[in-house]
């Protein structure tokens, strides 16, 4: 549903912004090379650049060589690790980047100028919404080993946020456990969300065979809120619990986490009597599942 509309939108946008031309913005290069030049900015490592733009390593290498031959960038080994390659703009490249900014502003104005003021407002508002939705579509959610550094980053951010928001802080040693072993199959699992290869959220399950699964460690980065990621993580965890044969999902939460409580209630969770002695919990919820794969 909607595939033909998305394709029509893509065709229009690529034509309107000039992405089809080899000479993008009259600078003698295609859009891909100009975008790489712009993204390098004040300098970055090539691995991060590739992840941020989601480019094939071979294609990115060709674009970097093209920019190097033009004298716009320099790619050098890292100062502390020769395996890390750093890309930076040359003085000529800095001038070219400023030119790209000017030409990009001109292109944006050429899109807005033919429209009336109400039309401009409608377009800009629609673009903001499309930006949020396209960003949401770029988020990847995958099961990961909780021992990975990126997974540990998410879990530590989760603990830090609870510490800031709970009335009396948060001490993980007092809370019901959900350690690495408990979040590793077959005992459980951890889902991690990434955007442009950066970790932005997580959620976990403790599995108990034919008994209800426990939902744990739900966290979304403040920078990623508003993308619907919390609901997506919740839905995928429910499907995972059902796929493992759990008849229901249970969770406990603190009264200060109003957004989480609203999410659970709007997702079909019902408040139930306390089923454990979690010292930081004020609410306990449960949702029954279809064990063939959904709620």
Residues 80-138: tens digit of each pLDDT: 777 889 999 999 999 999 999 999 999 999 999 999 999 999 999 999 999 999 999 99
Q: Which pTM does this prediction carry?
A: 0.87
pLDDT value for 110 = 96
- Are residues 285 and 250 in contact, defined by beta-carbon separation less than 8 angstroms? yes
Tens-place pLDDT, residues 25-43:
999 999 999 999 999 998 9
Look at strands 248-253 and 211-220 and give their pairing.
Answer: parallel
Residues 6 or more apart from 135 whose CB is under 8 A from it? 195, 227
User: Which two structure tokens, joined as six digits, stand for 268?
Assistant: 């079909």
Mean pLDDT of 166-178: 95
pLDDT at residue 292 tops 70:
no
Residues 6 or more apart from 169 whose CB is under 8 A from it? 163
User: Which two structure tokens, joined as six digits, stand for 114?
Assistant: 């033919």
Q: What is the mean pLDDT of the chain?
A: 94
Look at strands 188-195 and 198-208 and give their pairing.
Answer: antiparallel
pLDDT at residue 14 tops 90:
yes
């Amino acid at each position: 549903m909607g595939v033909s509309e998305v394709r029509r939108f893509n065709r229009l946008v690529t034509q309107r912004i000039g992405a089809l031309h080899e000479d993008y913005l009259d600078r003698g290069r295609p859009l891909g090379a100009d975008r790489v030049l712009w993204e390098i900015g004040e300098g970055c490592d090539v691995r991060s650049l590739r992840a941020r733009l989601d480019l094939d390593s071979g294609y990115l290498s060709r674009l970097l060589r093209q920019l190097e031959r033009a004298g716009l960038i320099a790619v050098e080994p890292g100062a502390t690790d020769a395996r890390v390659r750093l890309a930076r703009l040359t003085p000529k490249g800095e001038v070219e980047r400023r030119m790209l900014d000017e030409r990009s502003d001109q292109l944006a104005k050429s899109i807005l100028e033919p429209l009336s003021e109400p039309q401009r407002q409608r377009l800009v508002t629609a673009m903001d919404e499309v930006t949020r939705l396209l960003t949401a579509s770029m988020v990847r959610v995958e099961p990961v080993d909780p021992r990975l550094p990126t997974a540990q980053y998410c879990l530590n951010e989760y603990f830090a946020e609870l510490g800031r928001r709970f009335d009396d802080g948060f001490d993980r040693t007092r809370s019901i456990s959900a350690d690495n072993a408990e979040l590793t199959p077959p005992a459980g699992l951890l889902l991690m969300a990434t955007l442009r290869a950066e970790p932005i959220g997580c959620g976990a399950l403790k599995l108990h065979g034919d008994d209800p699964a426990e939902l744990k460690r739900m966290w979304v980065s403040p920078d990623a809120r508003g993308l619907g990621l919390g609901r997506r993580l919740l839905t995928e965890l429910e499907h995972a619990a059902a796929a493992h044969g759990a008849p229901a999902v249970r969770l406990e939460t603190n009264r200060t986490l109003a957004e989480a409580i609203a999410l659970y209630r709007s997702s079909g969770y019902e408040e139930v009597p306390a089923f454990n002695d979690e010292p930081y919990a004020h609410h306990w919820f449960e949702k029954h599942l279809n064990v063939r794969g959904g709620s």
